[in-house]
Amino acid sequence: MINLEVKNLNIKYRTRNGTVHAVKDASFFVRKKETLGIVGESGCGKSTTGHAVLRLLPPNALTDGEVVYNGSNILKYSNEKMRQLRGKDISIIFQDPMTSLDPIMRIRDHFFELIRAHNPKAKEEEMREMASNALESVGVSAKRLDNYPFEFSGGMRQRVMIALGITLKPSVLIADEPTTSLDVVVQEQIMGVLKDLKQTQDMSIILITHDLGVVAEVADSGVVMYAGEVVEYADVQNLYNNPLHPYTQLLLKSVPNIKIDDMELRYIPGSLPDLKNIPQGCRFKDRCPFVKDICSKKEPPIFKIDEREVRCWLYDK
């Protein structure tokens, strides 16, 4: 059952030096109890996409398209209706746990604020109970409710953020690079927490990351983004074992894998196109080893192959 669906999402930023088309025509969905990984390098638009779902982008961002949740397009919701949705139906955790908590507010007040925002009449004992349960479920002692954020390490803060994210039992959790600024051992612990949640809380997770290893480990399906576009969308097995898009193929070959001895690393020459000034045709053409004539003339559409999607002229029949 589809829980959240993004259809033809377009995001443009108006800046002093012109318009940046940060996300173009992104479409994907996530089912109940499923984890969708959105993977890509910096500047590919993956975080922008995640924030756009909750309408948390800065005012200079123009969002177009649909985000369908519970049968309606939440991009059309009024601000108040959107506010009621945030934290209750869809919640988000961010890349940098060091700055995600208000430094001058006790942990408990973060929980109280969340609960009261959705139930102004909530009683203190009741809220404490909810907060304690949420904290304990991610491995943080409820005794620490009265502490301030600076008394926690990065990993513990991220656990607190996750606890905040799941307190009201939302049906979608967006995790935006939740472990990027953490050490591997802590990353492993946090990923464990996220995996448990998916099973125990009946929740969809949208995991945004640049780490192909993390996606392989926890996701059921994956979206690969490049320069603001979804270039490949498939279930994880197919994505890793039989990648279709040249970018995905090369990306997988450039990640060192500790399980392979004497691995020969590849890299992708060149760099990302300027999003203010996108050249005609395929956005990956300047770095692609399989480039053809048509690639610089026409932008490739999404081609559907079985259950998968790929944006590349190689698959034009």
Partner 1 sequence: MINNVVVVKNLKKYFPLKLPWLEVVLKKEKPVVKAVDELSFSIKEGEALGLVGESGSGKTTVGRSIIRLIEPTSGDIEINNTNIVNLKNEQLRQARKEFQIIFQDPMASLNPYMTIGKSVMHPLEIHNIGTPKTRKEMVLELFRRVNLIPEKEFFNRYPRQLSGGQRQRVVIARAIITNPKFIVSDEATAMLDVSVRSQVLQLMLEIKKEYNLAFLFITHDLASAKYICERIAVMYLGKIVEIAATRELFENPHHPYTKILMSSIPVPDPNFKKEKIIPKGEIPSPTNMPTGCRFRTRCPYVKKECEEIDMNLEDLGDGHLSACPFFK
Partner 2 sequence: MKLKAYILTRILLSIPMILIILTIVFFVLRVLPGNPILAMLGPKAPPEVVHAMEHQMGLDKPIIIQYLVYLSHIAVGNFGTSTYTSLPVLQELLQKFPATFELTLYSMVVAVLIGIFLGTYAAYNFGKTTDVFARVYSIFVYSFPVFWFGIMLQLVFGVWLHWLPVSGRSAPFMIPEHIYTGIYTIDALLNGNFEVFIDAVKHLILPAVTLGIVISSIFVRMVRSNVLLSLSSQYVTAARARGTTEKKVLFKHALKNAMPPILTIMGLQFALLLAGAILTETTFSWPGIGNYLITRISYRDFPAIQGAIVFFAFFVAVISILVDIINAWIDPRIRY
Point out which residues bind partner 1 (CB under 8 A).
41-42, 153, 155-156, 183-189, 191-192, 210-217, 236-237, 240-241, 250-252, 254-259, 261, 263, 265-269, 271-272
Question: Which option in partner 2, partner 1, none does residue 132 bind, with CB closer than 5 to 8 A by kind?
Answer: none
Shorter beta-carbon distance to partner 2: residue 167 or 221:
167
Q: 230: which strand partners?
A: 225
Contact residues: partner 2, CB under 8 A: 51, 54, 56, 59, 79, 83-88, 91-92, 94, 96, 99-105, 110, 113-114, 117-118, 148, 150, 161, 164
User: What is the smallest separation between the CB atom of 122 and partner 2, expressed in angstroms?
Assistant: 13
Nearest to 106 by CA among 154, 61, 149: 149
Taking the complex as a whole, the smallest distance from the CB of residue 90 to partner 2 amounts, in Å, to: 9
Cα(71)–Cα(67) distance, rounded to whole angstroms?
10
54 contacts which partner out of partner 2, partner 1, none, CB within 5 to 8 A by kind? Answer: partner 2
Residue 90 or 161: the one with the smaller Cβ distance to partner 1 is: 161
Q: Toward partner 1, which CB reaches closer, 105 or 255?
A: 255
User: Which one, of 191, 170, 180, lies nearest residue 30 by Cα?
Assistant: 170
Least Å from the CB of residue 106 to partner 2: 8
User: Of the two residues 57 and 212, which places its CB atom closer to partner 2 in the complex?
Assistant: 57
CB 72 to partner 2: min, Å:
18
Instruction: Find how far residue 281's CA is from the centre of its chain.
Output: 27
**Closest CB to partner 1 among 122 and 139?**
139
CB of 158 to partner 2, least distance (A): 12
C-beta of 105: minimal distance to partner 2 in Å?
8
What count of other Cβ atoms lies within 10 Å of the Cβ of residue 262? 4
* Closer residue to partner 2, CB minimum distance, 161 or 239: 161
CA 57 to chain centre: 14
* Biggest distance spanned by C-alpha atoms of the chain: 68
